[in-house]
Structure formats: C-alpha cells, structure tokens
Structure 1
Amino acid sequence: MAVFTKHPVSAPPAPPVRETTGHLMLRAWCIFVLFLALSGVAWVNAFGAVVAGAVAIASGVLTIVLWATLRPFIQWRRLPWVVFAYVAWATLSIAWSAWPGVSALTWLMLAITTLQALFVGAVLTWRELVRAIGSALKWTLGLSLLFELFVGIFVRGPVLPGFERPTEHFDPIVYWSRGNIFNSGRMQGIWGNANLLGVVALLAIIVFAILYAARSPRRPMLIVWIVISAFFFVRAGSATTYLSAVVVAVVLATILLMRTTKRPGERTRYYIAYAVVGIGGLLAVVVWRKELFTLLGRSSDLTGRERIWASVIARAMERPFAGWGYASPWIAGDPHFDRWIIDHGQTVMQAHNMWVDLFMQLGIVGIVLMAGVYLAYIWRAWFFAVDRPRWDLVADRPYSSLTLLPSLVGAVLLVQGLAESGPLILWGWMFVVMFSFKIKQAPVIGQGAAEVGAAIERGEAVRADGMAPAESAGGSASAPADPAPASEPPARAAGAGS
C-alpha cells in the first residue's frame, strides 16, 4: 500500500521574487541617464544650451549622491585605467589650452559622462544593463516618431530649434525637422541631424535583435521596435551608418563562426582569412572611392569632410605633441572656432573624424591614449563574445546572445569615428567606458561578486553559499549549476585580458 510522506522533497510554493521599489527607481534613473546620453543635442534643440547643461550637471550631482548612498561593489584593481589616463590628460590640457573656458566646460561634460557610465555599469547586472539600453532607445525613437508625425501632420513644413517656425528660407542643415516623414526626404528625429538619427537607429536594431534572441519578455513588441528602427535607419540616409551596418554584419558573422571552433588553434585560419578580406576591402574603398560614394549618393570627398580635415590638421601641426587643449565638442561662440570652418553657411563644431579631432585637441599623446582605450575595449569585448562562459572545469556552457553587444557597438563606433567625432562625447564615449568597466568587473554574465552584489540590491533571494540565482535570458531566476562563492573575485573569461 502506497504511503504519502509528510516531508516533501520539493520546496513549498512561494510567490515569485519581485524587485524592491528602491531598485525599480534606481533602474528607472539608469534608463534616464542612458536616454540623456543617447538623445544628446535634442535637449539643446528643444530647450537651449543653458537648460541642457543644467540638466546634465544636475544628473551628475544626483548620481554622485546615489553612489555615495548605495556604495555598489567594485573591484578597484579591475578598473579601466586607460580611460582614466585619457581623462587625466584632457584635464591637464586645460593648463596649456588656447581656449581654457571651452576646455573647462567640455571637460565637465566629459567627467559627467564618464561618471554616469561607471555608475550604470556598477549598479546593474548585464541583463538589466542591456534591457535598460533598450528602454532608453525606445524613448528616443518613440519621441522621434511622435515629433516627426506632429511636424508632418500639424506644421506641414520645417521647424527650427526651439519649436520656431521659419519666416524665411534657410539651408536645410539649420532645421530641427524638415517635415519629411510623408515624402522621400531625409529625416532627422529629435536630434535635428540625420547622421545622429541613423546611427542610433542602427544601435537600436542591434540591441532589440539581441534582446529578441535572448528571449526577453514581450518579444512581439521587440519586432515592432525593430521595424521602427529600420524605418528610421533607411530614412536617415546616412552613408556612414550604412557602412557601419555592413561592418557590424561582418563582425557578427565572424563571432558566430568563431563560436563553432572546437580545437585550440582552429581560429587562427579564420583570423588570417578575415585579415585578408579586411585589408582587401580597405584597398577597394580607397581605389574605387569615387564610384562607391557615388553609389551611396555622396561626393568622393565625403561631402566636404576632406576640406575640414585639412584645416584641422594644419592647426594641429602647430602643436603636434600636446595639442591646443581639450574641446569636444567645439563651442561655436568661442573666437577660435567662430567662423573658422564654414559648411553650408554654418560654423563647424567638430572635425568629422575623431582621430583628427584628437590630434588637434590633445596631440599625439591624446591619439595614443584613445587608441589604448579602444584597443583594450575591443580586445576584451571580442573574447567576451567568442569565448564560452567559464569559471570552473565545465567547458560546454551555452553562449549568451548578450555578449555580442559590446563587440558590435565597438564596430559601430570605430566606423563612425572615421567620418564623425561623435564617439568622443555623449553615448559614444559613455558606452565605451560602461562596457569596458562592466567586462572587467563581471567577465561572466550572472556570475561573480559584481553581478551578485547587483542581484542582492535588486531584492533577489541569495542562496546559502552566497550566490544569487542566475537569471534566465528572459529575466527570470534559476539556480546556476556551478556557482562560485561571492567572496571570491569573479573568474577571468578566457582571453578577456587584464
């Protein structure tokens, strides 16, 4: 006769783990910080430079208060020191700057962006971080869609910054929105710049596709957002962004191919093959540049960029070692920049190449430091993506699609840096610092002291061995098969660098 035990082996039923109200508010603040970096000049176009600067400074002060209050776990020996070296050199440049006021003001924005990047990377887990980026992108693209629809339906014409209607004809570069949503013209979104809209739309496609592959909640809506992002990507008509998309596709294919290797040294032939393809592609662009840019609807001099580069390099050669002083972006009202380089009747506010811009501002030293920042970032991001998650003897754990994001973002920024100075400021710089910091602090998703500390703050139950339940791809909790004690430093991902 069967006997039912009164001591079941399974745990009694319990309600699902819910996030604390405090952590929900913290994550909302992180989304706002990311939105602030992604939206960028939209704040200037809507409210003016003074209000935009005040919001940025106030956000930095609040982040400092939150950091002092929360004190998130940080492994101080595993910080992105090359990033700090670059910021320190930018700080020192104020001493010899030809435009000290501009240097001090723009350095303040650099310091705030760096602080925000470190804070967001410290208080969120990898999965929370990617989802927060996705939420911020939804806000930027959603507001852009509403803004363009409002202009197209009610205004039915171009709009100047500050929501002003033009009383005379201006060059299209001046308009905040050209009112092109219902025709074939280029769209600019809340940024008032088609190139900025295009690259954010490409970033959104990448993030939403990764979240979809990770089986995040509300997957059908992610498809809707991918469609909206693709619409903006096409309507922005940015040749540089199109090239970035091609490079992203190549990098993604390479990572997925590298993940199929099973024996040591098997990746070597793939590296050689892709190096040959990359060098051949670069030479083809140089040789057939005119035909390529004609096909993309651009002039062979990159729409006047070569003229800008020549002027900036000529000034940089006067102070080649230390540069003229930090200034990202250029302040048009300063006498050194006002009417210095004119494009479409407007004062140019960047060199349209991050390396040329760095050469003028911080000299050869600045270029070397920034090259070190990107070299360390790309190196760690690459092995973060291609190596299996491992912290013990188990070597066959499945890959996570979330590990693709740092490498793909790095590809976008490197290509954008050839024709824009955007990677030096706002979300470009923030993402490089944030991912560099996060990979060093938590080289394995869901494991290690940094990830566990954030999980505890989120309100999850912690097991007796000190580990928090590892999240599934969709954000739910499940116990890891082989946990590592929270008191030990996280294991280094294979090839992740020091």
Structure 2
Amino acid sequence: MAVHTRHPAGAPPSAPSRESTGHLLLRGYAVLLLFIALATSFWFNLLGAAGLGVLVGVTTIVSIVLWAVLRPPIVWRLLPWLPLTYVVWAAASVLWSAWPDATALTWALLAATTVQALFLASVLTWRELVAAISSALTWIVGLSLAFELWVSLVVHGPVLPNFLLWDGELVTELYWSRDNLFDGGRIQGIVGNAHLLAVACLLALIVYAIRIASSPQRRAWFIGWSVVSAFLLWRSSSGTVWLALAAVALVLATMLLMRTTRAPGERTKYYVAYAGLGILGGIVLWLWRDDLLEFLGKSSDLTGRGGIWQAVAERAAEHPWLGWGFSTPWLPWVPEFDGWIIVNDLTVFHAHNVWLDAWMQLGIVGVALLGLSYLAVIWRAWFFAIDRPRWDLRADRPYQALTLLPTLVMTVLLVQGLAESRPLGEWGWLFLVLFAHKLAQSPHVGEGPAEQSLAIERGEALRRMPR
C-alpha cells in the first residue's frame, strides 16, 4: 500500500550553477587586454608613449600574477615553440644590433604581447575567447563613431593626440581625428588611423557574423553592430582592407565548400581547382595591377611604398642572414631611423611589409622562423575549420561557426602584411601567438585539457592537470 510522506527521496530543487564573480571579472579583464592590443594607438594618443608603457607593464604583471594563481592546465610540450623561438631570436639580436637600446625597448613590448596572448589562450575557452574579441571590437567600433561625432558636432575641427587643438597648418598624419565625418573624407576613429580603423571594422564583421551564426537569440544586436562596422569600414576607405575583405570572402567560401565533402579524396579536386584559380588570379592581378590600384585609390607604387621597400631591401642586403637588430616599430628618435625614410615630412617607422621588415631586422633566419610560425598556425587553423570535430568513433558531430575564426583572422594578417608591418606587433602578433597556443592545446571546441569548459562555465575551480 502506498504511503504518503513529507520526506521525498529526491534532492530538493536548487538554483542552476552560475559563473563565479571571479571568473566574470577575469572575462572582463580579458576584454580590456584585447582592447589594448586592438587599439594600441588609441592609448598612445590618449596617454603618450610613457603612459602606454606603464599600461602595458602593469597589465603584463597582473596577467602573470593571475596566471600563477589560476594555474590553468597546459600541455607544455604543445606550446607554440616556433613563435617563441622567433621571440628568443629577436632578444638575441641585441648582441649584434645596430640600435641596441631600441631592440631592448621594443623587444619588451613583443615579450609582453606574447605573455598576454599565452595567458588569454590558457584561461578562456574558445567560446569565451570569441565573446571577448567581439566585446573588445564593439568598444572600438562604438567609441570610434562617438568620437567622430563629438569632433564634428562639438569641436568643429581636427583634434591632435591628448585632445590638443591647433589652428595652424600641420601634417595631416599627426591628427587624431581630421573632422571628416560629414565632409566625405576618410575617418580615423579612436585609433587615429584610417587603415587601422578599417582593419578593426573588418575583424568586427567577421566576429559578428560568427556570433550571429552561433547565437540566434542575439541576432538583432550583432546585425546592428555589423551595420555600424560596415559604415565605418566604408568611410575609412583602406585599399589594403578592401583586398583583405575580398580574400576573406574567398577563403570563407572555400572552407564552406570543403565542409560539404563526404569522401576523403573529394577535397583533392577542389584544392587543384583553387590552385589553378590562384595562379590565374595572380597573373591577372599582375597584368592589370595599375588599373586595380587606381580603382583602390593608390598610385602605381602603392602611395610611396615602392621607395620604402627599395630602401629597406638595400639595407637588409647588407646583413642578409642576421639582420640589423630587432626594432618593431622603428623608433623615430633613434639616429639610424631618424630622417632615414621621409614620407609627408614624417619619419617612417616601419617598412610597410612584414617580410621585408623581418628580413632587415632579423635576417633570413628571422624570416624563416616567422614564415614557419605562420605556416604552422594556418595549417592547424585550416583543418580546425573544415574537419568535423572528432576525437572518438563518432563522425557525425555538427560543424561550429566559431572554428572559422582563426583562418579568417590569419587571412587578414597575411593580406595586411603585404602593405603594412603591424602584424609583427600589437594585435597582429597577439593573435598569431594566441591561435598557435589555443589550437595546439584545444584542437576541438569544448574538449582537451586546456578547454575545461564545464568547470569554467559553472564557475568551478580549474582542475589541475599533470605536468
């Protein structure tokens, strides 16, 4: 006979697990680190060189302390050894550097960026990482639009770094904002450079598209920010970024096509077809390069870059194997750089090409290490995107949109590196090291010792793994 009781056998209901306050603060700190890397020039214009140095130094120390306290699980043999070897080689170049002080100072920035990249990849899951990048880019896009509106509606004139105003004639490259929002000119946003703003907007469009595909419930929010990013991308009008956008679209279409294959050898025909199209496209671009550059608003020498490349190549050829010594960027007060290459009455502070810059600074050895670093990341990122997630006998797990991110970002870096040297530092180097580390530690979303997704999402303490 059934007996009623006030003492059921089941456990009483409880509230669902939530993230701990500490982990929420960690995610907010990660957004700050990414914002600093993606908008380094904003902090330079706001705080000056000394203030930026203090900010980088303090955040690096905080990250090291947090890393020591959290002790996220890491498989040490899977560290990104190629990028780390490049960093070591850059440090060693102080022994033969023609500008040892500049080498030591800029290497400290490189080392700090490397530490932050390893830290972010170690303490965040793939989903958290994409969310943090999205938040950082949203701050850049939103503040850029607000800043340009403030300059045009309140200041009614150009603004110099540190919010200085100037009534006289100055070189336009010195302005933080040129007050071009309503006159049809190129806008620069909080980063103070039209090209950097365009790159940030392109990255934002990539990340927002991934968030839309991954989070349908927030689709309207990300569509709205995509519209703002597209507007700023159009108004910043960077020819290099337009090429990067075309490359991203082509790579994205290729990856989605590769995902449709079923048989193991079915991809071979696509690889052969794309190789042929790539060769044909390269020939077409070369034959009609002048028309293409004119369409993009560039001269035949890419707005003075031809002269810069020639001067850098001539200097690099004098020390082809070891280079002249690391310095990214070129510090304009160093005698060897001051007045060496002048464009628009200003000393140029990088070679406007990643590979030429690396050759001049670290020689053929440095170029080889950098090239191998890119190759290793792109190789892992490509199969991370096009292969179904599989770590057991099950072969029907669905694809995830966020796995496309590393390959698309690396595409942007490769195209940008043809006309800019910024991928050697700041956000470019951070993303290279971050993806190299994350792809090795967590080759599948939500799986692997470095991911620990359930423990992090529920706010539990990170499980320590044997080292």
Structures share fold, TM-score greater than 0.5: yes
* Equivalent-residue separation in structure 2 for 1:112 and 1:349 (angstroms): 20
1:245 aligns with 2:239: no
| 1:411 maps to amino acid | T
The corresponding residue for 1:456 is 455
The corresponding residue for 2:14 is 14
The corresponding residue for 2:149 is 149
* Equivalent-residue separation in structure 1 for 2:216 and 2:39 (angstroms): 24
The corresponding residue for 1:476 is none
The corresponding residue for 2:137 is 137
| 1:194 maps to amino acid | A
The corresponding residue for 2:334 is 334
Q: Go from structure 1 to structure 2 and tell me whether the alpha carbon gap of 1:295 and 1:419 turns closer, same or farther (over 3 Å shift).
A: same
Displacement of 1:14 in angstroms is 3.4
Displacement of 1:218 in angstroms is 2.8
1:321 aligns with 2:301: no
| 1:108 maps to amino acid | A
TM-score, normalised via structure 1 length: 0.90
Contact 2:189 2:197 in 1 (8 A): yes
Count of residue pairs brought into register by the alignment:
467
Give 4+ residue runs of structure 1 displaced > 6 Å after superposition. 2-12, 486-489
The corresponding residue for 2:163 is 163
| 1:459 maps to amino acid | R
Contact 2:187 2:235 in 1 (8 A): yes
| 2:455 maps to amino acid | I
Contact 1:186 1:237 in 2 (8 A): yes
1:64-79 matched pairs, under 5 angstroms:
64-79=64-79
Contact 2:23 2:459 in 1 (8 A): no
The corresponding residue for 1:348 is 348
The corresponding residue for 1:60 is 60
The corresponding residue for 1:470 is none
Contact 2:201 2:230 in 1 (8 A): yes
Q: Go from structure 1 to structure 2 and tell me whether the alpha carbon gap of 1:338 and 1:119 turns closer, same or farther (over 3 Å shift).
A: same
The corresponding residue for 2:432 is 432
| 2:224 maps to amino acid | V
Displacement of 1:10 in angstroms is 9.4
Greater per-residue helix proportion: 2
* Equivalent-residue separation in structure 2 for 1:426 and 1:9 (angstroms): 58
* Equivalent-residue separation in structure 1 for 2:294 and 2:379 (angstroms): 35
The corresponding residue for 2:267 is 267
* Equivalent-residue separation in structure 2 for 1:6 and 1:392 (angstroms): 46
* Equivalent-residue separation in structure 2 for 1:32 and 1:161 (angstroms): 21
Displacement of 1:192 in angstroms is 1.1
Contact 1:103 1:327 in 2 (8 A): yes
* Equivalent-residue separation in structure 2 for 1:271 and 1:382 (angstroms): 13
1:38-437 matched pairs, under 5 angstroms:
38-215=38-215, 218-437=218-437
Gaps of 5+ in 2: none
Displacement of 1:47 in angstroms is 1.6
Displacement of 1:457 in angstroms is 4.1
Displacement of 1:16 in angstroms is 2.4
Contact 2:125 2:451 in 1 (8 A): yes
* Equivalent-residue separation in structure 2 for 1:361 and 1:243 (angstroms): 27
Q: Go from structure 1 to structure 2 and tell me whether the alpha carbon gap of 1:171 and 1:68 turns closer, same or farther (over 3 Å shift).
A: same
Q: Go from structure 1 to structure 2 and tell me whether the alpha carbon gap of 1:487 and 1:421 turns closer, same or farther (over 3 Å shift).
A: closer
| 1:229 maps to amino acid | S
Displacement of 1:487 in angstroms is 7.0
**More RCO (CA 8 Å, sep 6+):** 2
Contact 2:73 2:465 in 1 (8 A): no
Q: Go from structure 1 to structure 2 and tell me whether the alpha carbon gap of 1:8 and 1:383 turns closer, same or farther (over 3 Å shift).
A: farther
- 1:366-404 CA-partner distances (Å, limit 9, x unpaired): 100000000000000000000000111000100000000
- 1:185-210 CA-partner distances (Å, limit 9, x unpaired): 00111111101100110000000110
Q: Go from structure 1 to structure 2 and tell me whether the alpha carbon gap of 1:284 and 1:122 turns closer, same or farther (over 3 Å shift).
A: same
Q: Go from structure 1 to structure 2 and tell me whether the alpha carbon gap of 1:3 and 1:243 turns closer, same or farther (over 3 Å shift).
A: farther
The corresponding residue for 1:483 is none
TM-score, normalised via structure 2 length: 0.96
Identity of matched residues, %: 54
Q: Go from structure 1 to structure 2 and tell me whether the alpha carbon gap of 1:289 and 1:323 turns closer, same or farther (over 3 Å shift).
A: same
Contact 1:80 1:433 in 2 (8 A): yes
Contact 1:17 1:461 in 2 (8 A): no
* Equivalent-residue separation in structure 2 for 1:150 and 1:201 (angstroms): 20
- 1:102-150 CA-partner distances (Å, limit 9, x unpaired): 0000000000000000000000000000000001111111111111111
* Equivalent-residue separation in structure 2 for 1:88 and 1:391 (angstroms): 34
| 2:106 maps to amino acid | T
- 1:191-242 CA-partner distances (Å, limit 9, x unpaired): 1110110011000000011011001653211111111111111111000000
Contact 1:46 1:162 in 2 (8 A): yes
Displacement of 1:325 in angstroms is 0.3
Displacement of 1:41 in angstroms is 1.1
- 1:286-305 CA-partner distances (Å, limit 9, x unpaired): 11110111111111111110
- 1:232-289 CA-partner distances (Å, limit 9, x unpaired): 1111100000000000000000000000000011000000111111111112111111
- 1:27-53 CA-partner distances (Å, limit 9, x unpaired): 111111111100111111112111011
